[in-house]
Structure 1
C-alpha cells in the first residue's frame, strides 16, 4: 500500500496493483477494462484512452492519453515537461512524437471535459 497513482492499460495490471494504491490515491485506467473493486477510498477514473488514441490513428498511444489525464489532474509538472519527455523517449522515432503529444493533450482535455 504505497502507490499514490496507478495507471493501467490492461486488466491484469489493474487487478495486480489496485490493492497497493494508498487511501485517497488515484487509479486511472482504460474504460474498456470494466469496473475495478477496491476496499478503500480511492479516486477511480475510467478513461476511453483507446478511443482517444484511435481518433489520432494509432491505438498504441492509448497509454499517452492516460498520462495526459494524470498531467491535467496532478499539475505537478508543466505540460512542456511531459512534451519534452515524449520528445526524448521517441527521439529515435521522430514520426510518432507529434501524435503522442496530440494524444497527451487530448487526454488532458478529456478529463477537463468529464470531471
Structure 2
C-alpha cells in the first residue's frame, strides 16, 4: 500500500509527463536531496547573504551621515537669496575704470591747486 506522499509524487510525475514536460529532477519518495552538494551551496548562499547584509548596514550608516549634513530646500533657497544679494552689491561697486578716472581727477586737481594759490 502506498502512502499519501508516494501517491502525490506519482501523480505529480504523471501530470508533468501528460503535459509534455520533462521529468522532475527530484527523485520520488524519501531519497534525500537531488544534489548531494546542496549543503555546501546553501552554506555559501548564507555566507553571501550575511556579507550583503553587512554591506547594506554600512550603506545605511553612510546614508544617515550624508542626510544629517545635507542642505534642505529651505537652506538652499536662503543661500540663493544671499548670493543674489552679493551679486547686486558687487555690481554696485565701482569698476577699475571708474576708480582710475577718480584717481586721475584727484591727481589733476592736486596739480592745478598750486596754481590757484599763487593768484
**TM-score w.r.t. structure 2 length?**
0.17
- Report the structure, 1 or 2, having the larger strand content: 1
Structure showing greater radius of gyration is 2
- Report the structure, 1 or 2, having the larger helix content: 2
